[in-house]
Every structure is written in C-alpha cells, then in structure tokens.
Amino acid sequence: MELKGIYKLSYTIDKEPKDLMVTVELKMIDGLMKKGQNVWEGHVMVSDRAYEEDLSHCVNAKVACERIGHKLRDEMKTKTKANGSSFRIKNETIK
C-alpha cells in the first residue's frame, strides 16, 4: 500500500512546452467511521489545484494518480486534435 503517488507529464502543444502534475495522497479519516468504511480518504491535486475524484475505495495512491493522469492526458489529446493542434508527449513519470 502506497500513501502518496505523483504523476508528471511533460508535453508540447504546437511546440509550446507544458507540464502536468497529478498528486494523490491518502490520509487517515478523523473522527468516527461507519461500519465497513475505508480508513483512508484520497486527496487529489492537479498542478497545485484541488481536483474532485471519488477515491473512497482507493488503497494505493500510485495506481490512482496514474489512472487520473492518463484520463487527463487522453482528454487533452482529444481536445487538441479536435482543434487541429499538435500534441506530443516528451516525458511521463510515475513515482
């Protein structure tokens, strides 16, 4: 079980370099819990902004940040292709 995961993506749109960073951190829930509730809750940050994603059943932050990062990457790729721009991935790392 990993409590913190980081996904970094360096890409270009029309030869303009950009970066995307997704950070997922699992924190222990404070207070009383319901029966069968997960002990950990996930907090997601995308490029220093909060991102809403249901991570109530998440037990591995690394897998969750990879899944969210790939989803955002694919959305950006389809939007830029629809606008007629070029999208190229330079570097992709998962920690």
- In DSSP notation, 65-80 reads HHHHHHHHHHHHHHHH
Quote the domain boundaries for residue 23.
4-94
Q: How far apart are the first and last CA of the chain?
A: 13
| Residue 70, both tokens | 């790939």
Helix (H, G, I), strand (E, B) or coil at 77: helix
- 62 phi-psi bin (left φ>0, alpha ψ -120 to 50, beta other): alpha
What band does 40 get if pLDDT is binned at 50, 70 and 90? confident
Whether 6 has a pLDDT exceeding 90, the answer reads yes
Nearest to residue 21, comparing CAs of 4, 9, 5? 9
pLDDT in tens, 56-83: 888 899 999 999 999 999 999 999 999 9
Instruction: Determine the average pLDDT of the residues in 41-59.
Output: 90
Q: How far apart are CA 83 and CA 36, in angstroms?
A: 46
Number of structural domains the chain divides into: 1
Indicate the residue type of 24.
Answer: V
